[in-house]
Structure 1
Amino acid sequence: MGDITIKINGMDVTAPAGSTILEAARLAHIEIPTLCYLKEINEIGACRMCVVEVKGARTLVTACVYPINEGMEVWTNTPKVVESRKKTLQLLLSNHRKECLSCVRSGNCELQQLCRDLGVTDEQKYDGEMLESVIDTSAAHMIRDNSKCILCRRCVAVCEKVQGIGVIGANERGFKTYIGSAFDMGLGETSCVSCGQCIAVCPTGALREKDYIDEVLEAIADPEKYVCVQTAPAVRAALGEEFGYPMGTDVEGKMAAALRRIGFDKVFDTDFSADLTIMEEAHEFLDRVQNGGVLPMITSCSPGWIKYCEHYFPDMTENLSSCKSPQQMFGAVLKTYYAEKMGIDPKNIVSVSIMPCTAKKFEIGRPDQSAAGVPDVDYAMTTRELARMIKRLGIRFNELPDEGFDDPLGESTGAAVIFGATGGVMEAALRTAVETLTGEELPNPDFVDVRGTKGIKEASYNVAGMDVKVAVASGLGNARELLEKVKSGEADYHFIEIMGCPGGCVNGGGQPQVSGSVRNTVDVQGIRAKVLYDNDAAKTIRKSHENPSIKKVYEEYFGEPGSHKAHEVLHTTYVKRSVNGN
């Protein structure tokens, strides 16, 4: 289509034809503020923060949706533009519950930051009616507070367009408009899958995860309780962002050190049970292939995906691997094998997980997740909660020495750490399945065809004379597209990996908040995923079946993958749910 040259603030700027003013301005290193805009997801010009002056236009125009044309002249910071933006902020604040001191997003709130940038204070410029505060706590994973909502509709867009669920939307009209579910149902009464992507894109404190910091600290203070923590692979790839480290910094060592200083009795790594998951999952896959089981087999590590499947593809729950997720496997091993080994009553063990995922909060309450007669995991916390806990206790994270995890449930392989990136579970499973089928060592354990942040990936591998067809999807909208092709017969696979969040766990709903301006310009998923792949490449052992601690737990407790004991402790069942209920 060619390029177009326009003037922005008197400077010539060349941008591809079809670009908006916002996109052209960014090419000239000019940042136009936005609130509602998410690239390719929510381009609606609703918030009016991105207004600019265009020569010849009667009114200010919204830069995020206004296309450029040859010779256009644009001004982004005239007194008229600045005054309009300030007025918009003042109007938003007039119907906003200003609890900045206690709000979980204080210091990392896009509304708050824009007010600072434009010199807008909380002094009430516009007096009048405020909508009644409605707080929804019905969901297992989150709290929705409409008194802090600015109606940007980012949450609505990501739920509908990215995740393909659409359980929230704009209700009523005009001043009475609010974001909610159909028929004013609580979110927990809908087919919400707890993925937390709505929280991840919310610019304010209107959406937040349920916080269990107080309960965990209370358990740590109880001398009768033995409190153990596990940390998921993706947490180490993002936690540093909460403490000023550049995106893409691996803080595994400092994270382990911080957890010890919080007071946990043992600091373990979910990567251990990711290796365990591969042992069970690879065995299950080979058993299905060799003995006529239900195919394609679909991974079960992502609880958001599992609940989505139960609601929207209940006829395919038989395709799901019966393996518990690594979080739940870890809790189950902790309260059975480890409890017996250490002589501790499982009832006195408090199992805590640090996860990039809000759906884990729902998962811990699922049925058939209590191998020892008590919940496998007692508290699932997000990466953000861990950061808040560290700050609350005055731990100077950046000054901590690097420390390792505790044994024996802290030893893991490179295959385990890549679980946090889309395609990682598939690659880890292939490393073990291929060597098991062929009886030969892989010359190169890297299956690069399933890597990358593309929404749907496909590959075929000839293994022991058999073509094994695999597919990987991340984001539930992509999962729907892939499964519809499977159901129609358009696509044929043996093994499918699905992650509920786009890009996998590195982009989970419980990861550090990333502003819209960063999301729109930076490959967050790719940068965080690189941490995990670099970690994998640096490992001495990169295949789950070679983990010495995994070998030991089978020798001492489970016998072999897929054994009766393994099924009792490490496997689970699923529920066929309706689309309109929980």
Structure 2
Amino acid sequence: MVNLTIDGRKISVEENTTIMEAARQNGIPIPSLCYLKGINEIAACRVCVVELEGKNRLITSCNNVAEEGMVIYTNSPKVRKDRHINVELLLSQHDCQCVTCARSGNCSLQSIANDLNIIDIPFEKQVEHKPWNKNFPLIRDSAKCIKCMRCVAICDKVQGLSVWDAEGTGSRSNVNVSKRMTIENAPCALCGQCITHCPVGALRERDDTEKVWDAIEDGTKTVVVQVAPAVRTAWGEQLGMKAEEATIGKILDAMKRMGADYVFDTVFSADLTIMEEANEFVHRFTSGELKGNPMFTSCCPGWIRFIKSQFPHRVKYLSTAKSPQQMFGAVMKTYFAEKIGKKPEDIFTVSVMPCVAKKAEREMELFYEEYAGHDIDAVITTRELVKMMRAAHISPETLEDRESDSPMHAGTGAGVIFGATGGVMEAALRTAYAIITGENPEADAFKAVRSSGFNANDGVQEAELEINGIKVRTAVVSGLGNTRRLLEKLDRGEVQYDFVEVMACPGGCVGGGGQPIHDGEELAFERGKQLYRLDRDYEIRFSHENQDVLQLYEEYMEKPNSHKAHMLLHTQHE
């Protein structure tokens, strides 16, 4: 232990603890902008400076370690003056258009400037404006960038893609797409982790809320909304709701109040995905088609973008099943359209997703019989959902629990855990077991595939399971940096698996790039626990027992992996 004094308080902390962490552990907050523990400790913003007794120059607290006998002042006149100037300099290169910023009210720079009572900027304004394709799902506003390098660090160290890089020097330094590429040509997976780790509004998702409002106002359109499992774990965070209050039923109620004609829980199409994917896995695994290679899940579009650009030789081992989002849209524009007597082109499908990559995935075209178009017409993130609720002046306390509409009403515990890393694998194994043995396993028989945390086993959860005497080697991985290391081991022959689940975002969809932003906090695994609690409380916990899914097959698809199912629910990865 190391003993030191901070603001007159004698404290003890473990060796190698930074001054900032030492202060925070003892209830003394030191402001910061660029700091991300273990990821970005470069003291670029210099907002975290403190005064060390006996030293003339101020030191940064984020990357200086607490030492025995130190006497630290975090808010001395010298510190306040220096911190004030540093933030003013940052604001001189920031457009300060807070009212029209996506992060207004949830911006670290805004908060610190308010705390320091900065009401005027004495320096000449020099704001950088660089053009950007506003149709791309990820938007960068160079005029808001404060050069904290967080996006560079998270993309490089956590996701392993190095899409962003610094260029220039000194006051002329800035952040841009690396290697002088455009964002369209860069290996961006659209995971959105750079968005959720940006302290300001320099990075955001493309706003698609107006597309939804336009469709709602168009009397010729039937607006059909689906809500992903992970959204229910997070949407209430922005509205001050407790987890148990922020139910899926209240989201459905909100969408109905906004004008949606039909509202559904994506848990239905998650169960549908499992029916297709589990049957596909059993066939490919038992027939020897995989030839010792694992079949990979295909639900995460960020992962699909990653494998196509980074490991194209592995694409043939992806499941051909579409994601639950796309399956939902395909069913809506065929089976459901017939049910309600509407033309497919008059149905406008909306997805509420925790993900930015889903905005790109919706571009996938649907070709079936006489109809050609898109499975999904618009995707909004969890953050955009809350914006729409606020725009509609919906008070959360007035919302009621609404049931999904029929006939895609039913859902299971297996479908709801899709939003957590390991959930797709566990749900698929429950059904694969039933396909092979003809009976259900214990609902929690495969909980060994559940991930135990961000840093456990480099983000990889391995399990060797036995089904009717057949050994199945599985791996679950989240975070693209972890995924790269796993695939490289596969290529070198160091590990062997039969079935692998990949989620682009650490912790899975619950930690997606479209979820509410809490600067400096990682909430994915806490949100994931909510989904497992919901699964535990579901009356039905197996996708193959979803009665509405079984009815869909009986009335329209015949059986899993039928010709019709392949036409609508599968795709060719290229």
TM superposition score normalised by structure 1: 0.95
1:64-96 per-residue CA deviation (whole Å, 9 max, x = no partner) reads 110111111111111111111111111111111
Supply the AA of the counterpart residue of 2:252.
A
Deviation at 1:156, TM superposition (A): 0.7
Distance in 2 (CA, whole Å) between partners of 1:341 and 1:200 is 40
Moved more, 138-147 or 161-170: 138-147
Q: Deviations over 1:343-387 (max 9, x none)?
A: 210010001000000000111113567784110001011001110
1:310-389 correspondence to structure 2 within 5 Å = 310-367=308-365, 372-389=371-388
Q: Contact 1:91–1:126 (CA<8 Å) still a contact in 2? A: yes
Counterpart position of 2:224: 228
- Structure 2 match to 1:308: 306
Pick from 505, 515, 519: which aligns with 2:519?
Answer: 515
Match of 2:404, SS?
Answer: coil
Q: Secondary structure at the match of 2:524?
A: helix
Supply the AA of the counterpart residue of 2:372.
Answer: G
Query: Does residue 1:127 correspond to 2:131, yes or no?
Result: no
Q: Is the 8 A contact 1:13 1:27 kept in 2?
A: no
Match of 1:579? none
User: Can you list the C-alpha shifts for 1:72-127, whole angstroms capped at 9, x where unaligned?
Assistant: 11111111111111111111111111111111111111100111111112x22112
- Contact 1:135–1:144 at 8 Å: present in 2 too? no
Structure 1 residues 431-440 or 330-339, which shifts more? Answer: 431-440
Which of 488, 503, 510 is the matching residue for 2:507?
503
Query: 2:394 maps to which residue?
Result: 395
Q: What amino acid is the match of 2:210?
A: D
Superposed CA deviations along residues 550-570 of structure 1, whole A, max 9, x for unmatched, are 110010111111111000000
Percent identity over the alignment?
Answer: 48
Does the CA-based 8 Å contact 1:351-1:376 persist in structure 2?
yes
Distance 1:487 1:440, change over 3 A: same
Matches within 5 A, 1:439-450: 439-450=438-449
Paired amino acid for 1:493: Y
2:64 to 38, 52, 66: 66
Q: 1:248 Cα deviation (Å)?
A: 7.7
Match of 1:173 in 2: 169
Per-residue deviation, 1:186:
2.5
How much has 1:57 moved relative to structure 2? 2.2
Output aligned runs, 1:190-209, within 5 Å: 190-209=186-205
The answer as to 2:254 corresponding to 1:258 is: yes
Contact persistence 2:430–2:443 (CA under 8 A): no
**Aligned-partner Cα distance in 2 for 1:270–1:369:** 22
Aligned partners of 1:353, 1:253: CA distance in 2, in Å? 15
Of 173-182 and 28-37, the range deviating more from structure 2: 173-182
Q: Is the 8 A contact 1:228 1:265 kept in 2?
A: yes
The corresponding residue for 2:463 is 459
User: Does the residue aligned with 1:136 lie in a helix, a strand or coil?
Assistant: coil
**What stretches of structure 2 of length at least 5 have no aligned partner?**
none
2:571 equivalent in structure 1: 572
* Cα distance change, pair 69–370 in 1 and its aligned pair in 2 (3 A): farther
CA contact (8 A) 1:54 1:60 kept: yes
1:187 aligned counterpart, secondary structure: coil
Are 1:563 and 2:562 matched, yes or no? yes
2:535 is the alignment partner of 1:531: no
Which amino acid in 2 is paired with 1:274?
A
Distance 1:70 1:188, change over 3 A: same
1:413·1:539 contact (CA, 8 Å) conserved in 2?
Answer: yes
C-alpha displacement at 1:440, in angstroms?
Answer: 2.3
Deviation at 1:246, TM superposition (A): 4.6
Q: What does residue 472 of structure 2 align with? A: 468
Name 2:26's counterpart in structure 1.
28
Kept after mapping to 2: 8 A contact 1:356/1:510: yes
Letter in 2 for 1:133: H
SS at match of 2:30: coil
Q: How far apart are residue 131 of structure 1 and its match? A: 3.7
- Distance (whole Å) between structure 2 residues aligned to residue 124 and residue 16 of structure 1: 40
Q: Residue in 1 aligned with 2:422?
A: 423
Whole-Å separation in 1 of the counterparts to 2:416 and 2:314: 28
Distance between the aligned counterparts of 1:367 and 1:292, measured in 2? Answer: 31
Matches of 1:335 and 1:444, distance apart in 2: 33
Q: Which residue of 1 aligns with 2:78?
A: 80
User: Residues 15-38 of structure 1: CA distance to partner in whole angstroms, max 9, x if unpaired?
Assistant: 111111011111211111110011
**Contact 1:138-1:186 at 8 Å conserved across structures:** no
Change (3 A) 1:232 1:434: same
Query: Contact 1:415–1:542 (CA<8 Å) still a contact in 2?
Result: yes
CA distance in 1, matches of 2:31, 2:242: 22
CA distance in 2, matches of 1:190, 1:366: 20
How far is 1:169 from its partner?
0.6
Q: What is the one-letter code of the residue matched to 1:127?
A: E
In structure 1, distance between residues paired with 2:244 and 2:420: 13
Deviation, 1:272, is 0.6
**2:481 counterpart of 1:477:** yes
Residues 172-230 of structure 1: per-residue CA shift (max 9 Å, x gap) = 11222111113543212212111111111111111111111111111111111001000
AA partner of residue 52 (structure 1) = V
Compare 278-287 and 433-442 and name the one that shifted more.
433-442
Greater mean alpha carbon deviation, residues 338-347 or residues 324-333 = 338-347
Contact 2:330 2:366 in 1 (8 A): no
Q: Retained in 2: the 8 A contact 1:233–1:419?
A: yes
Q: CA deviation at 1:135?
A: 3.8
Amino acid at match of 1:409: M
Distance 2:73 2:167 in 1: 36
Q: Which position in structure 2 is the counterpart of 1:279?
A: 275
Question: Hey, what's the Cα distance between the residues in 1 that align with 2:421 and 2:442?
Answer: 23
Which of 214, 219, 227 is the aligned partner of 1:218? 214
- Structure 1 pair 460–248 and aligned structure 2 pair: CA distance change class (3 A): farther
- Letter of the 2:320 partner, please give it: S
Distance 1:139 1:157, change over 3 A: farther
Which range moved further: 51-60 or 181-190? Answer: 181-190
Mapped to 2, the partners of 1:369 and 1:231 lie a distance apart of 24
C-alpha separation between the residues in 2 aligned to 1:425 and 1:292? 22
Alignment partner, residue 102 of structure 1:
100
SS in structure 2 at match of 1:457: strand
| Distance across 1 between alignment mates of 2:37 and 2:445 | 32
**Among 30, 35, 38, the residue aligned to 1:37:** 35
Answer whether contact 1:237 1:248 (CA < 8 A) is retained: no
What one-letter code is carried by the residue in structure 2 that aligns with 1:217?
Answer: W
TM-fit CA distance, 1:249: 5.9
**What TM-score do the two structures reach when normalised by structure 2?**
0.96
Contact 2:36 2:150 in 1 (8 A): yes
Matched position secondary structure for 1:41: coil
- 2:152 aligned with 1:156: yes
1:493 to 497, 518, 526: 497
**1:139-193 Cα shifts (integer Å, max 9, x gaps):** 6312110100000011111111110000111111122211111354321221211
